């Protein structure tokens, strides 16, 4: 994720709400979703904090500059299933000391289409924590990109079997 991904232009979320940019949309969604812990974190710092005040702190966060902190996704697994779906997991905050329960943001381009993926709230406990602080990234946020069903490819042993049977039938006909 780059600065232009966060602040480059209008962003419309899945519910159809349009924001000035992705950063505003992502932050507002995280603020309004009480399971993320974002609103309660800022309210502990300032009980009268509004979403726009908190967003301004997020944008200007010094060494902990918000968009930069959430632009370093930890992709833990990627797979493609038989129906062509691409499944992947992001390690994110599950039981973080701040109360945050959210993943970082990953930008994915697949089959010519670019999307941003992130998770709020309910993660699956991974049993693993970040080496840096011993508490971060203890949850998995799982995503699926719908794909096209892949063509079935016969196993080499099956092909050899068919060749052998065909050879036997040809030899049998030759001797008759």
Residue among 129, 120, 143 at smallest CA distance from 37:
120
In which domain, by residue range, is 20 found?
A: 3-145
Q: What is the pLDDT of residue 133?
A: 75
- Looking at the whole model, is its pTM more than 0.95? no
What are the angstrom distances between the C-alpha of 21 and each of 70, 89, 114? 15, 25, 16
Residue 160 lies in a domain: no
Tokens at 130, concatenated: 């970040």
Residue 83 lies in a domain: yes
Cα 16 to Cα 8: distance, rounded to the nearest angstrom:
18
| pLDDT < 50: residue spans in the chain | 171
Residue 111 lies in a domain: yes
Tally of domains in the chain: 1
Residue 171 lies in a domain: no
């Amino acid at each position: 994720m780059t600065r232009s991904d966060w602040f480059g232009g209008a962003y419309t979320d899945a519910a159809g709400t349009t924001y000035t940019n992705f950063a505003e949309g992502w932050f507002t969604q995280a603020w309004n979703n009480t399971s993320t812990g974002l609103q309660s974190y800022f309210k502990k710092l300032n009980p009268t904090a509004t979403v726009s005040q908190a967003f301004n702190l997020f944008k200007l966060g010094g060494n902990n500059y918000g968009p930069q902190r959430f632009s370093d996704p930890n992709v833990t697994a990627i797979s493609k299933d038989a129906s062509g779906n691409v499944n992947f997991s992001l390690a994110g905050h599950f039981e973080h000391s701040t109360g945050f329960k959210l993943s970082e943001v990953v930008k994915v381009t697949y089959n010519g289409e670019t999307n941003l993926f992130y998770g709020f709230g309910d993660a699956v406990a991974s049993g693993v924590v970040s080496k840096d602080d011993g508490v971060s990234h203890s949850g998995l946020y799982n995503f699926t990109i719908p794909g096209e069903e892949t063509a079935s490819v016969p196993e080499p042993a099956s092909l050899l079997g068919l060749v052998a049977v065909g050879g036997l039938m040809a030899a049998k006909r030759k001797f008759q």
